[in-house]
Amino acid sequence: MKLSLKTVYTTTPIFYVNAKPHLGHFYTMTLADVRNRWCKFNNRDTFFTTGTDEHGLKVQNAAEKAGIEPKLFCDGLADKFKELAKLGDIKYDRFIRTTDVDHYAAVNHFWNTVNDNGYIYKGQHSGWYSVSDETFYTESDIVESNDEKTGKKIMIAKETMNEVIFQTEENYFFKLSKLQKNILDYIKSNPKFIKPQKYYDFIIHELESRELPDLSVSRPSSRLQWGIPVPNDDNQKIYVWFDALVNYLTSEGYPNAKEFPKPTHLVGKDIIKFHCIYWPAFLMAANIQLPEQVFVHGHWLMGGRKMSKSRGNVADPIEISNYYGSDSLRLFMMRYSVLDTDGDYNEKTLNALRSEFIDKFCNLMIRSLSKNFSIERALGRLQSNKLETLLNEVNDEEFKNSILSVQLQINNLKNDIDDDITNFDMYKATHKLFSMGPQINSLFDIYEPWKLKVKQDDDEMTKHNKQLKQDIIIFTALDSLRVLLLLFQSIIPQYSKMLLDRLNIDSK
Ligand code: MSP
């Protein structure tokens, strides 16, 4: 696939393969997929990637626990993520795995560039390390706690509540401290770089309130076998985040491609420091342009609480999709997706929304396609006359205004939701699309076109007026439905296709 500077490039984070996919993963994939489909529908040149993050201690430990060789273990789980993408109609251009051969080459090249530019050095590292978070923490980031199972005293990270252990080892370091001011300056002069605003403010605060220590970017091979070796030093493996972030470049054909479009990254709120501080710093050190924007989303909870296996409140996107259809889940997540808050998954709400869609749009279609009306006649009439001309003939101001108002809103809708979708404000777009349903339906309720039947003793004028009004209503309803379904496609590709096919309308 040839990319150019104009390509709209959307990414999801790449998912850890230490466990099977959950709702949060499907949410991220769907948000990015909707944006990408939308841009493609609007004839923009697009590129969309998702994939799996396969190295690191977390995966090494999970594979060991399962008694499977790491690569085979990763193959199995990467397939699960691909299956989910297929089931959920996630139309990516590249599914990148950090075990892909071209990724190894890209990471090597990237490391060497950063190293040649003087941003990497070797040193001693001591600190509190969390395997689950794949992160070192400082003294101020940790607190004492009791292990739930053994009751023993342990140290945990305040932010994630995951256990940390004290470690001293030799590592390569990245000179993050040297770039702190540059990153701050860059973000300050690009106020749209991080969205929503509260995350922008958080990152500015992080950069202004303390001096960032240099970042350890390798692990001893004795502890971490499952990783990409540091070039020219087999005793060290590249830190999983340094490796993983480069996926966004690998997918663009780094280092060989000619043009690199700036990606728009979509990330969950837990990984913003990696994308808004470390990644810009790595890129600056490699002399590569920074991403276009980073959008941050909240997490899905269930019953107001974090989903967890032990609590038994985990929503499985595969199970839900198999039962309700993946479009129902896509619709639910997009309708209730507000980036700067967490969402609460609720099956009843999902089911109600699905019924609402059927009620508003499928019933509207059934109503419009009733045998009481002649669609051929309505289409024929509108083919040879302008709607405005026909409306003037009807001579009913209120009727004319209702039709024109629906038509105007429908005509503006595409432009109106363009910003919403490209900025991941999916609830706004979905709400606007939904709100057109009742307006079109009300044309039926108010003007009751089925009552505009021609009677035997109607004179020519009455007959003409009745048929004209009926045709205008049917045309307006069906044409609005056509536009709505075309615009709905990015959110619910299957439902839209089914209904567009019924109307014999090309999806483009
Ligand atoms: N592998 C890293 C990302 C590397 S990107 C260079 C990672 N993987 S993850 O599998 O743990 O998380 C992937 C994404 O899923 C993150 O953006 C995370 O925020 C998101 N989610 C994890 N749980 C979630 C919910 N409950 N709800 C919504 N998104 C959630 O981090």
Asked if omega into 21 is within 30° of 0 (cis), the reply is no
Neighbours of 415 (CB within 10 A): 8
**Worst-scoring range by mean pLDDT, 134-143, 218-227, 348-357, 436-445?**
134-143
Global confidence as pTM = 0.93
Q: Within 13 A of 200's CA, how many CA atoms are on the CB side?
A: 17
What does the pLDDT read at residue 134?
Answer: 77
CA of 291 to the centre of ligand 1 (A): 19
Cα 474 to Cα 381: distance, rounded to the nearest angstrom: 11
Q: What is the mean pLDDT of residues 8-29?
A: 95
- H-state helical runs in 397-459: 397-422, 426-447
What does the pLDDT read at residue 307?
Answer: 85
- pLDDT of residue 72 exceeding 80: yes
Please list the residues that pair with 237 across neighbouring strands: 219, 229
The CB of 27 under 6 Å from ligand 1? The reply is yes
Banded model confidence at residue 293, pLDDT cuts 50, 70, 90: very high
Number of H helices, E strands in the chain: 20, 18
CA of 265 to the centre of ligand 1 (A): 13
State the chain's mean pLDDT as an integer. Answer: 95
Chain-centroid distance of CA 388 in Å reads 41
Q: Measured over all CA atoms, what is the biggest interatomic distance in the chain, rounded to whole angstroms?
A: 99
Instruction: Decide if 393 contacts 468 (C-beta within 8 A).
Output: yes
What are the structure tokens assigned to 197, written together? 């605003």
Banded model confidence at residue 167, pLDDT cuts 50, 70, 90: confident
Q: Which residues lie closer than 8 Å to 398 by C-beta, 6 or more apart?
A: none
Please list the residues that pair with 95 across neighbouring strands: 50
Q: What is the mean pLDDT of residues 308-316?
A: 82
Chain-centroid distance of CA 93 in Å reads 14
Strand bridging mode 343-345 / 300-302 = parallel
The CB of 16 under 6 Å from ligand 1? The reply is yes
What does the pLDDT read at residue 1?
Answer: 74
Of ligand 1's listed atoms, the one at least distance from the Cα of 343 is 27
Asked if omega into 196 is within 30° of 0 (cis), the reply is yes
What does the pLDDT read at residue 415?
Answer: 97
Q: What is the mean pLDDT of residues 166-174?
A: 93
CA of 308 to the centre of ligand 1 (A): 14
Cα 178 to Cα 114: distance, rounded to the nearest angstrom: 13
The residue that leads in pLDDT, 307 or 228, is: 228
The CB of 317 under 6 Å from ligand 1? The reply is no
Cα 343 to Cα 49: distance, rounded to the nearest angstrom: 24
Instruction: Decide if 29 contacts 85 (C-beta within 8 A).
Output: yes
Instruction: Decide if 245 contacts 13 (C-beta within 8 A).
Output: no
Banded model confidence at residue 253, pLDDT cuts 50, 70, 90: very high
The CB of 81 under 6 Å from ligand 1? The reply is no
